[in-house]
Structure formats: C-alpha cells, structure tokens
Amino acid sequence: MADTYHIPAMLAETIAGLNIKPDGVYVDVTFGGGGHSRAIMEHLKADGRLFSFDQDADALQNAIDDEKWEFVHSNFRYLRNWMDYYGVTEIDGLLADLGVSFHHFDCPERGFSFRFPAPLDMRMNQTAKRTAADVVNSYSEEELARIFWLYGEMKNGRGVAKAICKARTQKTIERTEELVAASRIPAEMSKELARLFQALRIEVNDELGALREMLVAARDLLKPGGRIAILTYHSLEDRLVKNFLRSGNLEGEIEKDFYGNILTPFKLIEKGREASEEEVERNPRARSAKLRVAEKK
Ligand SMILES: C[S@@+](CC[C@H](N)C(=O)[O-])C[C@H]1O[C@@H](n2cnc3c(N)ncnc32)[C@H](O)[C@@H]1O
C-alpha cells in the first residue's frame, strides 16, 4: 500500500540530516505513506521509539507492526500535549514532510484536485468541520483575494475572487468543477488552477497555524544535540521555517548578547537543500521540496 500511497522526497538526505541515535526518541509528525518513518525505524534498536503523527485516518493503512512504533491520529499542532500524554519530556529528533500526500490527489472524492469532478472538500482530517466549500461560499471577496495571493501566489487573485463571488450569488459552489468554472481560469492554465486549489487547501487545514505551533513545541522538546528536519513545498511555509530555524522564534527576530554574538537555540545543518535532478525525474513532486535541518544547541 505504502508504494502507491506516497513516494517520500529526499529520503536519504532527510535521514542523514536526522543523525539518528539507535536508542533515541523520534517523532515523524507527517506519517503519510510511512516511507520516512520506516527508514527511521531501520536505524532504531530495541530501546529506540518512534511516534508518527497524521491527522488523516487513511494513513493508518500503512501502519508499522513494531513495538517501538506508535501512531498518533492527531494534528501535529498538539505535539506537546501528546508527548505529555506519553510521558515524553525530551526528544532526539523530529521530521516534518509538510503538505498533502499523493494519496490525497489520488482520491477524487476528497476534492483536492481540480482535475476530477468531486465535492469541494479538501479536509486532511475528515472529521474537521470546515470544508473548502465553506471557505469559498462564506469568505468575503477581500478575504478570498488575500488567501489566493498569500497561499497561492496568484497574480490575478483579486480577479479570481471577484469572479467567484459573482458566481456564488447565482448558486452555492459545492463541487470542484463548479469552482473551476466560477474562477474563470481557462482549463489550459493548469498551473493557475493548481495555485487556486493549493491556496484553499492551506486555508481549510490552517496549515501555517499548525506549523507555527508545532515548531515552538519541537524547539522546546528537542534535547541538546537533537535534530529537526523539515521538508517544505512552497515559499510561504519555507520562509516561516527558515526564519524560525535561524532565530528560534516565530517573529524571526535575531537576538544578540552584550558582545553582539547571535543568540539562537539552533545550529543550521541544511539550509534549503533541493532534490537531485535524478530524483526529480523519478518523482516530479520533489522538484519543489526544500530540506532544512537544524541541531539544538
Ligand atoms: C507529504 S505527506 C508525508 C509523506 C511521508 N513522509 C511519507 O514518507 O509517506 C504529509 C502527510 O502529513 C499529514 N499532515 C499534514 N499536515 C498535518 C498536520 N497538521 N497534522 C498531522 N498530519 C498532517 C497529511 O495528512 C499527509 O498524510
């Protein structure tokens, strides 16, 4: 199942970046098809532990049969609470491979893809209340324009928001194909449609809010010498991770001591490494991946 569920990006580079200790406690906050988790497990001996989070119950199809492994069906924004629940006060490493998996695009009924007619859903957690249809039909034109610009980097986000708001006065937009028609983006502009769907997905799942909360919890849980490895796929989340790992805070503010030395909890190990050409050929999604790794001082 894991083979078709997802192909992990930059697998060898990510595992090398984690510098895994065989008896360490590790967290993979984005289990998905389990490719990265399985590779971590291969490095763990009997005393090691791995907690794998996923907010999508479908990921459990890829469960790992091993006593050292624990699946946490939750949003990773609750990392701290779950570690408290398991009595874990410190971790040796954490991996986040952000966004959605191939599985999400391969399930037309989940509404992540503009290519398939389906209900306009896009929830990674199927029990969450807000769907993409809720966002599209209830946000003001300004709010839609803002998320299209911010999360989709759509040059014509304002025009698309206007077209959607006009269309929804005639009929509620409930399906992917209705959104495509309402947006007035021509079918051949598939990149623009992908941006529109990406922007909505990020908003529906509050991806940046969850990332912010998880980063702070990870910083506080990591042991000195512990590693955090993050794979990002678009510029906004990458900027957030880059600034956080440089400064140790969400504001990205670099603090200095009396002598002007930079005070940050992290030493940078990988600063936005990209996939090799050979990997991109095999797995085109890896094209936009950026790997950032830092070590807690
Ligand atoms: C890119 S995939 C990870 C693929 C995985 N590394 C592998 O090797 O198969 C991202 C996964 O993280 C999950 N996810 C994304 N955001 C999440 C969040 N805030 N909390 C928990 N899971 C999340 C998604 O449901 C998806 O299954």
Fold of the 2-102+207-296 domain: Rossmann fold (3.40.50)
Banded pLDDT at 4 (limits 50, 70, 90): confident
How far is residue 124's CA from residue 144's CA, in Å, rounded to a whole number?
20
What's the pLDDT score for residue 283?
95
CA of 236 to the centre of ligand 1 (A): 17
- Residue 241 is inside which H or E element, if any? helix 235-247
Please determine, for residue 2, whether its predicted confidence score (pLDDT) is greater than 60: no
**pLDDT tens track for 181-226:** 999 999 999 999 999 999 999 999 999 999 999 999 999 999 999 9
Q: Is any ligand 1 atom within 6 A of the Cβ of residue 76?
A: yes
CA–centroid distance, residue 101 to ligand 1 (Å): 7
Per-residue burial over 118-151, b if 16 or more Cβ lie within 10 Å, else e, is bebbbbbeeeeeebbbebbeebeeeebbbbbbeb
Q: Is the distance from the beta carbon of residue 7 to the nearest atom of ligand 1 less than 6 Å?
A: no
Mean pLDDT of 112-130: 96
The CATH number of domain 129-204, selected from 1.10.150.170, 3.40.800.10, 1.20.120.1200, 3.20.20.70: 1.10.150.170
**Predicted TM-score (pTM) of this structure:** 0.97
Residue ranges per structural domain of the chain: 2-102+207-296, 129-204
Mean pLDDT of the chain: 96
Q: Mean of the pLDDT values across residues 150-161?
A: 96
Q: Where are the beta strands (DSSP E) in 58-204?
A: 69-72, 91-97
Q: Matching CATH topology for 2-102+207-296 and 129-204? A: no
> Taking residues 82-108, what's their average pLDDT?
97
- Helix %, strand %, coil % for the chain, to 5? 45, 20, 35
Taking CA atoms only, the protein residue closest to ligand 1 atom 8 is 35
Query: Which protein residue has the closest C-alpha to ligand 1 atom 2?
Result: 101
Q: Which helix or strand (DSSP H or E) is residue 273 part of?
A: strand 266-274
* Residue 52 pLDDT grade (very low, low, confident, very high; cuts 50, 70, 90): very high
151 and 122 Cβ atoms separated by less than 8 Å: no
How would residue 3 be classed by pLDDT, with cut points 50, 70 and 90? low
Residue 88 has pLDDT above 90, yes or no: yes
What's the rounded Cα separation, in Å, for the pair 23 and 136? 48
pLDDT confidence of residue 1:
47
**Rg of the chain, C-alpha, whole Å:** 20
Q: Are 100 and 201 in contact (CB under 8 A)?
A: yes
